[in-house]
Structure 1
Amino acid sequence: MILYFTADLMSTSRVQGPANAQGIPLKVIGSQKGILETIDDETTALVVDLNPPARNAISTIEEAKKLRPELPVVVHGPHLQVDLLQQAKEAGADVLTNGQFHREVGSILQQLAAK
Protein backbone atom coordinates (compact mmCIF):
# COMPACT_ATOMS: atom_id res chain seq x y z
CA MET A 1 0.00 0.00 0.00
CA ILE A 2 1.16 3.52 -0.81
CA LEU A 3 0.64 6.11 1.93
CA TYR A 4 -0.08 9.67 0.84
CA PHE A 5 0.59 12.40 3.39
CA THR A 6 -1.52 15.40 2.46
CA ALA A 7 -4.16 17.72 3.85
CA ASP A 8 -5.05 19.12 0.42
CA LEU A 9 -8.35 17.81 -0.96
CA MET A 10 -7.44 18.79 -4.53
CA SER A 11 -4.19 16.82 -4.38
CA THR A 12 -6.04 13.89 -2.84
CA SER A 13 -8.48 13.65 -5.73
CA ARG A 14 -5.73 14.10 -8.33
CA VAL A 15 -3.84 11.12 -6.87
CA GLN A 16 -6.69 8.90 -5.67
CA GLY A 17 -8.30 8.80 -9.13
CA PRO A 18 -5.31 7.33 -10.96
CA ALA A 19 -4.62 4.96 -8.06
CA ASN A 20 -8.19 3.65 -8.15
CA ALA A 21 -8.13 3.35 -11.95
CA GLN A 22 -5.02 1.16 -11.75
CA GLY A 23 -6.10 -0.84 -8.71
CA ILE A 24 -3.25 0.52 -6.61
CA PRO A 25 -3.96 0.55 -2.87
CA LEU A 26 -3.53 4.12 -1.62
CA LYS A 27 -4.30 5.45 1.84
CA VAL A 28 -4.51 9.20 2.36
CA ILE A 29 -3.48 10.40 5.81
CA GLY A 30 -3.37 14.02 6.94
CA SER A 31 -1.21 13.82 10.05
CA GLN A 32 2.34 12.89 10.91
CA LYS A 33 1.12 10.68 13.75
CA GLY A 34 -1.22 8.84 11.40
CA ILE A 35 1.55 8.23 8.87
CA LEU A 36 4.02 6.96 11.45
CA GLU A 37 1.42 4.69 13.08
CA THR A 38 0.39 3.23 9.71
CA ILE A 39 3.78 2.44 8.17
CA ASP A 40 4.30 -1.31 8.25
CA ASP A 41 5.73 -4.13 6.15
CA GLU A 42 2.84 -3.78 3.67
CA THR A 43 3.74 -0.15 2.95
CA THR A 44 5.42 0.01 -0.45
CA ALA A 45 6.04 3.78 -0.52
CA LEU A 46 5.30 7.13 1.05
CA VAL A 47 4.25 10.13 -1.02
CA VAL A 48 4.41 13.51 0.71
CA ASP A 49 2.66 16.69 -0.42
CA LEU A 50 4.72 19.74 0.53
CA ASN A 51 1.96 22.17 -0.42
CA PRO A 52 0.40 24.28 2.29
CA PRO A 53 -0.96 23.32 4.74
CA ALA A 54 1.81 20.70 4.92
CA ARG A 55 2.76 20.28 8.54
CA ASN A 56 5.76 18.39 9.81
CA ALA A 57 6.52 17.15 6.30
CA ILE A 58 10.30 17.04 6.65
CA SER A 59 10.26 15.48 10.11
CA THR A 60 7.70 12.95 8.86
CA ILE A 61 10.10 11.92 6.08
CA GLU A 62 12.97 11.66 8.58
CA GLU A 63 10.93 9.58 11.04
CA ALA A 64 9.58 7.32 8.28
CA LYS A 65 13.14 6.67 7.10
CA LYS A 66 14.14 5.74 10.66
CA LEU A 67 11.29 3.20 10.76
CA ARG A 68 11.96 1.83 7.27
CA PRO A 69 15.25 3.09 5.79
CA GLU A 70 14.56 1.31 2.48
CA LEU A 71 11.08 2.81 2.06
CA PRO A 72 10.80 4.84 -1.15
CA VAL A 73 9.66 8.39 -0.40
CA VAL A 74 8.52 10.77 -3.12
CA VAL A 75 7.64 14.38 -2.38
CA HIS A 76 6.03 17.01 -4.53
CA GLY A 77 5.81 20.70 -3.87
CA PRO A 78 5.84 24.19 -5.33
CA HIS A 79 8.86 24.77 -7.56
CA LEU A 80 9.43 28.13 -5.88
CA GLN A 81 10.01 26.51 -2.48
CA VAL A 82 13.58 25.54 -3.33
CA ASP A 83 14.70 25.34 0.31
CA LEU A 84 11.86 23.02 1.32
CA LEU A 85 12.43 20.77 -1.70
CA GLN A 86 16.14 20.62 -0.83
CA GLN A 87 15.36 19.72 2.79
CA ALA A 88 13.15 16.87 1.57
CA LYS A 89 15.94 15.62 -0.67
CA GLU A 90 18.42 15.75 2.21
CA ALA A 91 15.93 13.77 4.34
CA GLY A 92 16.06 10.97 1.77
CA ALA A 93 13.17 11.68 -0.58
CA ASP A 94 12.96 11.83 -4.34
CA VAL A 95 11.78 15.35 -5.14
CA LEU A 96 9.42 16.51 -7.86
CA THR A 97 7.71 19.80 -8.51
CA ASN A 98 3.92 19.78 -8.42
CA GLY A 99 3.80 20.00 -12.20
CA GLN A 100 6.13 17.04 -12.70
CA PHE A 101 4.29 14.94 -10.14
CA HIS A 102 0.77 15.59 -11.37
CA ARG A 103 1.72 15.11 -15.05
CA GLU A 104 3.23 11.70 -14.30
CA VAL A 105 1.19 10.60 -11.28
CA GLY A 106 -0.12 7.40 -12.91
CA SER A 107 3.32 6.08 -13.85
CA ILE A 108 4.83 7.21 -10.55
CA LEU A 109 2.19 5.27 -8.61
CA GLN A 110 2.74 2.20 -10.81
CA GLN A 111 6.49 2.29 -10.13
CA LEU A 112 5.99 2.75 -6.39
CA ALA A 113 3.40 -0.01 -6.15
CA ALA A 114 5.76 -2.44 -7.88
CA LYS A 115 8.55 -1.97 -5.32
Structure 2
Amino acid sequence: MILYFTADLMSTSRVQGPANAQGIALKVIGSQKGLLESIDEATTALIVDLNPPARDAISTIEQAKAKRPDLRVLVHGPHVQVDLLAQAKQAGADVLTNGQFHQQVGSILAQLAAE
Protein backbone atom coordinates (compact mmCIF):
# COMPACT_ATOMS: atom_id res chain seq x y z
CA MET A 1 0.00 0.00 0.00
CA ILE A 2 1.28 3.43 -0.98
CA LEU A 3 0.13 6.29 1.24
CA TYR A 4 -0.32 9.75 -0.27
CA PHE A 5 -0.32 12.72 2.11
CA THR A 6 -2.09 15.62 0.44
CA ALA A 7 -4.92 18.07 0.96
CA ASP A 8 -5.01 19.06 -2.73
CA LEU A 9 -7.92 17.53 -4.63
CA MET A 10 -6.25 18.18 -7.99
CA SER A 11 -3.13 16.26 -6.94
CA THR A 12 -5.31 13.48 -5.60
CA SER A 13 -7.05 12.96 -8.93
CA ARG A 14 -3.76 13.15 -10.86
CA VAL A 15 -2.33 10.33 -8.76
CA GLN A 16 -5.40 8.20 -8.00
CA GLY A 17 -6.26 7.74 -11.68
CA PRO A 18 -2.91 6.20 -12.71
CA ALA A 19 -2.85 4.11 -9.52
CA ASN A 20 -6.31 2.70 -10.27
CA ALA A 21 -5.38 2.04 -13.90
CA GLN A 22 -2.38 -0.03 -12.78
CA GLY A 23 -4.16 -1.79 -9.92
CA ILE A 24 -1.88 -0.16 -7.35
CA ALA A 25 -3.23 0.19 -3.81
CA LEU A 26 -3.10 3.88 -2.93
CA LYS A 27 -4.63 5.49 0.13
CA VAL A 28 -4.97 9.28 0.17
CA ILE A 29 -4.80 10.86 3.61
CA GLY A 30 -5.18 14.55 4.43
CA SER A 31 -4.20 14.66 8.10
CA GLN A 32 -0.88 14.05 9.79
CA LYS A 33 -2.51 12.03 12.57
CA GLY A 34 -4.40 9.83 10.11
CA LEU A 35 -1.28 9.28 8.06
CA LEU A 36 0.92 8.32 10.99
CA GLU A 37 -1.76 5.93 12.25
CA SER A 38 -1.98 4.31 8.80
CA ILE A 39 1.72 3.46 8.48
CA ASP A 40 2.21 -0.24 9.10
CA GLU A 41 4.17 -3.19 7.72
CA ALA A 42 1.97 -3.26 4.61
CA THR A 43 2.98 0.32 3.73
CA THR A 44 5.47 0.17 0.89
CA ALA A 45 5.98 3.91 0.35
CA LEU A 46 4.82 7.36 1.34
CA ILE A 47 4.30 10.22 -1.09
CA VAL A 48 4.08 13.71 0.42
CA ASP A 49 2.64 16.68 -1.44
CA LEU A 50 4.45 19.87 -0.42
CA ASN A 51 1.99 22.11 -2.24
CA PRO A 52 -0.10 24.51 -0.25
CA PRO A 53 -2.08 23.77 1.84
CA ALA A 54 0.53 21.18 2.94
CA ARG A 55 0.53 21.28 6.71
CA ASP A 56 3.31 19.90 8.85
CA ALA A 57 4.88 18.17 5.85
CA ILE A 58 8.45 18.14 7.17
CA SER A 59 7.34 17.05 10.63
CA THR A 60 5.25 14.31 9.02
CA ILE A 61 8.24 13.02 7.06
CA GLU A 62 10.40 13.01 10.20
CA GLN A 63 7.77 11.17 12.24
CA ALA A 64 7.09 8.65 9.48
CA LYS A 65 10.82 7.90 9.20
CA ALA A 66 11.05 7.57 13.00
CA LYS A 67 8.20 5.06 12.94
CA ARG A 68 9.55 3.13 9.94
CA PRO A 69 13.18 4.07 9.17
CA ASP A 70 13.18 1.84 6.07
CA LEU A 71 10.06 3.47 4.58
CA ARG A 72 10.63 5.02 1.17
CA VAL A 73 9.42 8.63 1.23
CA LEU A 74 9.01 10.66 -1.94
CA VAL A 75 7.95 14.30 -1.93
CA HIS A 76 6.88 16.63 -4.69
CA GLY A 77 6.51 20.36 -4.51
CA PRO A 78 6.84 23.66 -6.33
CA HIS A 79 10.27 24.16 -7.88
CA VAL A 80 10.38 27.66 -6.42
CA GLN A 81 10.18 26.28 -2.86
CA VAL A 82 13.89 25.49 -2.80
CA ASP A 83 14.21 25.68 0.99
CA LEU A 84 11.21 23.42 1.61
CA LEU A 85 12.46 20.84 -0.91
CA ALA A 86 15.89 20.92 0.77
CA GLN A 87 14.29 20.42 4.19
CA ALA A 88 12.38 17.41 2.88
CA LYS A 89 15.58 15.91 1.49
CA GLN A 90 17.35 16.50 4.78
CA ALA A 91 14.45 14.73 6.56
CA GLY A 92 15.14 11.63 4.46
CA ALA A 93 12.87 11.99 1.46
CA ASP A 94 13.55 11.70 -2.25
CA VAL A 95 12.58 15.02 -3.84
CA LEU A 96 10.92 15.87 -7.15
CA THR A 97 9.41 19.07 -8.46
CA ASN A 98 5.71 19.00 -9.25
CA GLY A 99 6.48 18.92 -12.97
CA GLN A 100 8.83 15.96 -12.64
CA PHE A 101 6.38 14.07 -10.44
CA HIS A 102 3.25 14.62 -12.52
CA GLN A 103 5.00 13.86 -15.84
CA GLN A 104 6.20 10.50 -14.51
CA VAL A 105 3.48 9.63 -11.99
CA GLY A 106 2.54 6.31 -13.61
CA SER A 107 6.09 4.98 -13.69
CA ILE A 108 6.84 6.37 -10.22
CA LEU A 109 3.83 4.55 -8.76
CA ALA A 110 4.80 1.32 -10.53
CA GLN A 111 8.34 1.55 -9.14
CA LEU A 112 7.14 2.31 -5.60
CA ALA A 113 4.64 -0.56 -5.71
CA ALA A 114 7.33 -2.99 -6.87
CA GLU A 115 9.73 -2.18 -4.01
Q: 2 CA distance for matches of 1:105 and 1:69? A: 24
The CA RMSD over aligned residues, in Å, is 0.3
TM alignment of 1:76-91, pairs within 5 A? 76-91=76-91
Please name the residue that 1:25 is paired with: 25
Please name the residue that 1:50 is paired with: 50
Q: Could you say what secondary structure the match of 1:18 adopts?
A: helix
**Number of matched residues?**
115
Identical-pair percentage: 83
Please name the residue that 2:108 is paired with: 108
Q: 2 CA distance for matches of 1:15 and 1:51? A: 14
Moved over 3 A (4+): none
Amino acid corresponding to residue 94 of structure 2 in structure 1 = D
Q: Could you say what secondary structure the match of 2:20 adopts?
A: helix
TM (norm. structure 1) is 1.00
Please name the residue that 1:70 is paired with: 70
Structure 1 gap segments, 5+ residues each: none
Q: 2 CA distance for matches of 1:28 and 1:45? A: 12
Please name the residue that 1:11 is paired with: 11
